[in-house]
Amino acid sequence: MNYTRQETLLKAEGVGLVLGGSRILRNINLRIDNIVRPGFTQGQVVALLGPSGIGKTQLFKILAGLRRPTEGTVTINEHGDRSPDGLVGVVAQHYPLLKFLTVRGNLYFATRQRGLKGKDIRMKADEMLERFGLTERRDLYPSQLSGGQRQRLAIAQQLLCSEHFLLMDEPFSGLDVIMLENVTKLITEVASADELSTIIVVTHDVTAACTIADTIWLLGLEKDGEGKRIPGATVVREYDLIVEGLAWQPDLHLNPRLLEFSAQIKSEFRNLK
């Protein structure tokens, strides 16, 4: 498959976290590079997997700039800018939109957060309404939208705030089969909309993660020489789904190799905590 990895878009170096005297994360080193495919607009989708309670949420917050690590740094783009709150969009599990604003009002609010004014606000908001199929619902309130429409609005809102970087917390939770297919398709479309689009998905759904991601980070506890757990979770394994032949494939959910690979990752979960 013809592609190259170019400039670094996000990097975590030596990241650790101690809360209340307990070691939560330790020595996390990660990077996401710009993947370029000739003839395609190709963004990046990374899935962060791990057992419940292992520290995924805390790492999520650190990557989003919502929490400062005890040690190490997270930097964004090739210039190595620190990751402050607001540079990375966050789509939480229950899509906490501004209930007292319409669909268009939510997008106007997001564009103002970027410092845009006047006609630039309307232009950017209208672009997102069209892109996410919400133009006809622009004057409705979040409570009048379906679950799928609220998710699209939440993604559009956060992209207006951050432009390229998006973190999604459990986007597959509680979905039926049809909605699950719709959400995986939406994430793929968002990633493919811009060359620098970078989406990090935190999830328990291994199969869905394998369907959309080009890279998987597996978070867990390592063992010392005596077989004892070392306090603080770290990324114990990174999978390159491009090399595995599972990235950017049509009808991937029908591929027996996907089920085999998902089962392999699931079997590792019992050794991570």
- Per-residue pLDDT at 46 exceeds 70: yes
- Per-residue pLDDT at 216 exceeds 60: yes
From CA 89, how far away is CA 159, in angstroms rounded?
6
Q: Cβ(73)–Cβ(227) under 8 Å?
A: no
Per-residue pLDDT tens digits for 189-212: 888 888 888 999 998 889 989 999
The predicted model scores a pTM of 0.86
Stretch 239-259: mean pLDDT, rounded?
88
Q: Greater confidence, 211 or 111?
A: 211
pLDDT tier at 215, thresholds 50, 70, 90: very high
Stretch 55-62: mean pLDDT, rounded?
92
pLDDT reported for residue 72? 96
Q: Cβ(101)–Cβ(141) under 8 Å?
A: yes
- Per-residue pLDDT at 66 exceeds 90: no
Stretch 6-23: mean pLDDT, rounded?
95
Q: Cβ(213)–Cβ(247) under 8 Å?
A: yes
CB atoms within 10 A of CB 142: 20
- Per-residue pLDDT at 131 exceeds 90: no
pLDDT reported for residue 73? 94
Q: Cβ(241)–Cβ(210) under 8 Å?
A: yes
pLDDT reported for residue 87? 65
pLDDT reported for residue 91? 83
Domain extent listing, the chain: 4-92+164-271
- Per-residue pLDDT at 83 exceeds 70: no
pLDDT reported for residue 18? 98
Stretch 103-131: mean pLDDT, rounded?
83
Specify the CATH number of the domain 4-92+164-271: 3.40.50.300
Which range in 106-115, 206-215, 245-254 is most confidently predicted, on average pLDDT?
Answer: 206-215
Stretch 246-258: mean pLDDT, rounded?
86
Task: Kindly list the distances between the CA atom of residue 7 and the CA atoms of 79, 159, 196, in Å, as whole numbers in the listed order.
Answer: 10, 21, 10
pLDDT reported for residue 22? 96
CB atoms within 10 A of CB 53: 9
5 strand-pairing partners: 35
Per-residue pLDDT tens digits for 68-80: 999 999 998 766 6
- Per-residue pLDDT at 41 exceeds 70: yes
Q: Greater confidence, 122 or 21?
A: 21
pLDDT reported for residue 202? 92
pLDDT reported for residue 25? 98
Which of 96-100, 159-163, 192-196, 222-226 is predicted with the least confidence, judged by mean pLDDT? 159-163
Q: Cβ(61)–Cβ(27) under 8 Å?
A: no
**249's tokens:** 């494939």
pLDDT tier at 110, thresholds 50, 70, 90: confident
pLDDT reported for residue 86? 56
